């Protein structure tokens, strides 16, 4: 016989969530979520953490705790939960190297050779070498 069915359900409290700017996702530590401004019915038997996230902003967290009201019934404080989200810093810009030019594999067209007469071109003359900047070594003697 399972006695869990005889246990009373935990008392619930409705908590309102607000953020500046609105539209943040409020996610509780028990897994419930909503988009601000919104409200969730939460079991008021233990403290709950709430995390607010929104693209372009740093996440923020708040803790809510059940306290006994004047009737002796638990309710969460703070209620409503309000957060002001801080803009996220801009991402660091990485220095990118310029893209290398892609080789297409095509070569430029060869220039046509000029038509020449039948006489062969004169042979190029040998280039003279510049003198060395240091004195020549004398030939070894025997």
pLDDT surpassing 60 at residue 126: no
Which tokens hold the place of 110? Answer: 């060869």
Q: Is residue 139, in this structure, part of any structural domain at all?
A: no
Q: Is residue 110 part of a domain?
A: no
In this prediction, residues 7-24 reach a mean pLDDT of 89
Q: In this structure, is residue 20 part of a structural domain?
A: yes
Q: Is residue 23 part of a domain?
A: yes
- SS3 for the chain is CCCHHHCCCCCEEEEEEEEECCCCEEEECCCCEEECCEEEEEECCCCEEEEEECCCECCEEEEEEEEECCCCCEEEECCCEEEECCECCCCCCCCCCCCCCCCCCCCCCCCCCCCCCCCCCCCCCCCCCCCCCCCCCCCCCC
Handedness of CA 41, 43, 44, 50 (dihedral sign): negative
Whether 103 is in a domain gets the answer no
Query: 131 lies in a domain?
Result: no
* pLDDT tens, residue by residue, 27-45: 999 999 999 999 999 998 8
Q: Read off the pLDDT of each residue in 45-65 and give the average, rounded to a whole number.
A: 95
- State yes or no: pLDDT of 119 exceeds 70: no
Query: Domain tally for the chain?
Result: 1
pLDDT at 17 over 90: yes
Whether 108 is covered by a domain: the verdict is no
pLDDT band for position 130 (cuts 50, 70, 90): low
pLDDT at 93: 74
In DSSP terms, which residues pair with 19 in a beta bridge?
83
Domain around 14: 9-84
Q: What pLDDT digit, counting tens, does each position of 87-113 carry?
A: 988 877 766 666 666 656 566 666 666
| 54 domain residue, yes or no | yes
């Amino acid at each position: 016989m399972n006695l869990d069915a005889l246990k009373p359900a935990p008392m619930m409290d409705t908590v309102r969530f607000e953020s500046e700017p609105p539209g943040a996702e409020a996610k509780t530590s028990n897994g419930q979520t909503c988009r601000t401004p919104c409200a969730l019915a939460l079991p008021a038997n233990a403290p709950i953490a709430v995390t607010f996230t929104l693209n372009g902003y740093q996440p923020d967290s708040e803790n809510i705790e059940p306290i006994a009201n004047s009737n002796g019934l638990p309710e969460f404080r703070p209620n409503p939960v309000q957060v002001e989200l801080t803009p996220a810093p801009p991402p660091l810009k990485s220095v990118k190297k310029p893209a290398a030019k892609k080789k297409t594999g095509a070569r430029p067209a060869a220039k046509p050779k000029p038509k020449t007469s039948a006489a062969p071109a004169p042979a190029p003359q040998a280039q003279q070498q510049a003198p060395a900047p240091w004195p020549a070594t004398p030939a070894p003697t025997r």
